[in-house]
Amino acid sequence: MKLLNLFKFYSVCHLLYTDYTYSFVFYNFLNLELNKLGHSPFILLASKNPKSSKYFKGEKVKSEEDFQRILETAKSLNLTEKDLNDYALKHLPEESLRKRFLYLIKPKKEEKVLPKRLRKHLAILPQKNIEYPIDEAISRIKIISGTRFVEGIDVAIRIPVTNKKAKSTAGQYSKLITIPYKSLKSKRTKVGIFGIKDTVEEIKSKGLENLVFIGGEELIKEFKEKQEIPEVNLVLSDVETYPKLSLLGKLLSKQGLMPNLSVGTCVESKTDFLEIIDDLINRNVLVIKSDKTGDIKCNFADVSMPLDEIRTNLLEIFRYLKKNKPPYSTQKFVNKIFISSSMGPSFRLNVKQLKSNSK
């Protein structure tokens, strides 16, 4: 019996750690002998060793030439990503070889080629994770901008969001604000106004440029019949006329133009309405909005404006948000701030400097 146990032990070791073809010959011979003696056959459990016959069904990689041959074959087959993983598991038992195989065969991401106009200014392009002073960032943007049209300057303010409820409502945040200096975009803003007769007459006397339409209930009915509203960027209404705009609810909502009390596009008093009209004539009136993540983005200037005016507009937006903190934000109000031209790279600004300058 001792001899028999030794045979069993030797068979198991031989099968697990050496060439499996010879092991199975010996294994079969052992079972034949056991059968002659009237003993039950010896059953060998499946091995988890990748070199065993059950787990290793592919060809052995004996040299670099074999590896290259497997690699070239896989390339010629044009396999999908899933099939490549299966192919690697089948033909390459060692994990290090599989990793190398997948690294070599998977397509690499192409590096983005900078446009010619940016290649001229490599020395002043923004660097990753570096915060720039306001004036330096603005001056660099003005130098880099070299398109045939006047580029606008946009700001993106990253605001940390608190909980799930805040995240779900973050994208609904929108406010009408006024900043000191007009940009080209604000000069081209097309405005539509709904109001009662007295308000409408006074607004008409102001001589507002880019006023596309102005009127009351009759104008609303006219648009309802046509099922069409002239193309505008901003729609304002007084409180008295606001309920009647339900007739145009679908048309205005599709374009995101429906006046709203919380935003400030639906105005409660006549004096406030006239103030907004004065601001539209003399200053820069814009609607700041947040996206689903809570980040606030808007156009606040253009590259043709003087540096002082661009800085003042930016600081005014920051002051407003500081005083009127969005309801979804955390105690740490601003996380990061980026400014960029319409067709250029973005510069991360120094938040501490902004806070000190906006006091």
- Each domain of the chain, given as residue ranges in start order, spans 64-105, 113-181+284-358, 183-282
Secondary-structure class of domain 113-181+284-358 per CATH: alpha beta
User: According to the model, what pLDDT value does residue 194 have?
Assistant: 94
Residue pair 141/344 in contact by the 8 Å Cβ criterion: yes
Report d(CA 190, CA 188) in Å as an integer.
6
User: According to the model, what pLDDT value does residue 245 have?
Assistant: 92
- CATH hierarchy code of domain 183-282: 3.40.50.790
User: According to the model, what pLDDT value does residue 118 have?
Assistant: 82
User: According to the model, what pLDDT value does residue 30 have?
Assistant: 60
User: Under 8 Å CB-to-CB from 225, ≥6 apart: which residues?
Assistant: none
φ, ψ at 357 (rounded to 5°): -75, -20
Of 268, 74, 221, 76, nearest to 85 by C-alpha is 74
Count Cβ atoms within 10 A of the Cβ of residue 151 and give its class: 0-12 exposed, 13-18 middle, 19 or more buried: buried
User: According to the model, what pLDDT value does residue 26 have?
Assistant: 52
User: According to the model, what pLDDT value does residue 59 have?
Assistant: 46
Of 305, 333, 336, 304, nearest to 319 by C-alpha is 333
Residue pair 194/245 in contact by the 8 Å Cβ criterion: yes
Count Cβ atoms within 10 A of the Cβ of residue 241 and give its class: 0-12 exposed, 13-18 middle, 19 or more buried: buried
User: According to the model, what pLDDT value does residue 49 have?
Assistant: 43
Provide the greatest CA pair distance for the chain.
118
Q: Which helix (H) or strand (E) holds 211?
A: strand 211-215
Single pTM value for the model: 0.66
Report d(CA 304, CA 149) in Å as an integer.
10
What pLDDT digit, counting tens, does each position of 36-54 carry?
666 655 544 434 344 443 3
* Beta carbons within 10 angstroms of residue 111's beta carbon: 6
User: According to the model, what pLDDT value does residue 138 have?
Assistant: 94
* Beta carbons within 10 angstroms of residue 207's beta carbon: 9
Of 269, 320, 312, nearest to 296 by C-alpha is 320
Of 301, 339, 319, 346, nearest to 134 by C-alpha is 339
What pLDDT digit, counting tens, does each position of 161-182 carry?
877 777 777 888 889 999 999 9
Block mean pLDDT (10 aa), the chain, length 359 = 50 47 51 62 44 41 76 82 84 84 75 76 88 94 84 91 77 89 90 92 88 92 91 93 91 90 91 91 90 88 93 93 84 86 91 82
